[in-house]
Structure 1
Amino acid sequence: MGLEIERKFTVTELPQDLDNYPFHIIEQGYLNVRPAIRVRREDDIYYMTYKGDNTLAKAGEIGKIEYNMPLDKASYDHMVEKADGNMIRKKRYLIPLNEDGFSTEYLSDHPDIHKKVKEKDIKIELDVFEAPFDGTIIAEVEFPDEESAAAYKPASWFVEDVTGQKEYSNAYMSAM
């Protein structure tokens, strides 16, 4: 079991140097949306994910329980046929966190986070969606804890913080 602590942002313009970053091709279908049970292909890796809501989190926290279970291609192909609604297809770019994402004081007081930022272990996952969601671009940043998520200062090219807004979840989009 893992705890996913992420913030999510809308983006209207892609960074100019996007081709310099690694990316994954992702396709996923939802067998259920609440709780979210999805099957995903990420390049040539297949898995099923259970994502609970954040009802177990304390008030004001954003963490969600998440389990990933590996699948083989045949199992993925079998289960994705049973998916409801829209298939989600997107290209996910992995961009190092913006250098001004945390104050100097915060990084000084949190050497573990400073190390992760310096070693580029915290990434912006920039999702560029394909049909039927062409034009949708969402940036997600996953954090090691609630405190660092709260202290994060969004990149200048992020537009709106939509963390927790269901209409920006892939599960919701699959049911549209």
Structure 2
Amino acid sequence: MEIERKYLVSEVPANLKDYHCRVIEQGYLSTHPVVRVRKDNDSYYLTYKGSGMMAREEYNLPLTAESYEHLLAKADGNIITKKRYEIPDGTGKTIELDLFEGVFSGLTLAEVEFESVEEANAYIPPSWFTKDVTMDTAYHNSNMSKKVVIKP
């Protein structure tokens, strides 16, 4: 079970280089249900996500690099690319700060995962989080993969 809240942020911490960074690339084979392939640094996964907004089932299966590349070529829509910084929030939680690249360059989202829905509902975000977009499907990566992006 994945339980997470997602936020827009007002500013990015100046000391990002001090935190662990993962380079992520992912494509969607299906958005209903969500089936995605992801490269996370040098690891590869096929992920199934059940329905839900803040809490939903999630299953990850390991892939080889070759399987990932084969499946990524079959993905629909936009390939999502981002750098994810893991930032301790001072309460024992880790903020996963996503700086999007490629077609979504400039978008920055923060996610925090929880052990229970009650814990998620009780979470008090840091002051640099501006808007809770957990329930806004526009910020689900699976929906972003379907957006038409026009660059000048």
The 2-side partners of 1:6 and 1:31 are apart by 22
The 2-side partners of 1:49 and 1:62 are apart by 17
TM-score between both structures, scaled by the size of structure 2: 0.94
Deviation of 1:62 after TM superposition, in Å, equals 2.5
Please identify, of 12-21 and 86-95, the stretch whose mean Cα deviation from structure 2 is larger: 12-21
Equivalent in the alignment of 2:21: 23
- Between the two proteins, the alignment pairs up a number of residues equal to 147
Deviation of 1:45 after TM superposition, in Å, equals 0.1
Q: Which has the larger radius of gyration?
A: 1
**Ranges in structure 2 where 5+ consecutive residues have no aligned partner:** 148-152
The amino acid of 1:96's aligned partner reads P
- The structure carrying a bigger helix percent of its residues is 1
Q: How big is each residue's C-alpha offset from its partner over 1:74-105, in whole Å with a ceiling of 9 and x where there is no partner?
A: 100100000000000000000002x3x5xxxx
The correspondence for 1:69, drawn from 61, 64, 78, is 61
Alignment of 1:32-51 (within 5 A): 32-51=30-49
The amino acid of 1:5's aligned partner reads I
Q: Following TM superposition, where does structure 1 have runs of at least 4 consecutive aligned residues deviating by more than 4 angstroms?
A: none
Equivalent in the alignment of 1:84: 76
**RMSD between aligned residues:** 1.1
Quick one: percent identity of the two aligned structures? 51
The 1-side partners of 2:107 and 2:85 are apart by 14
The 2-side partners of 1:163 and 1:129 are apart by 17
Deviation of 1:12 after TM superposition, in Å, equals 3.3
- The structure carrying a bigger strand percent of its residues is 2
TM-score between both structures, scaled by the size of structure 1: 0.81
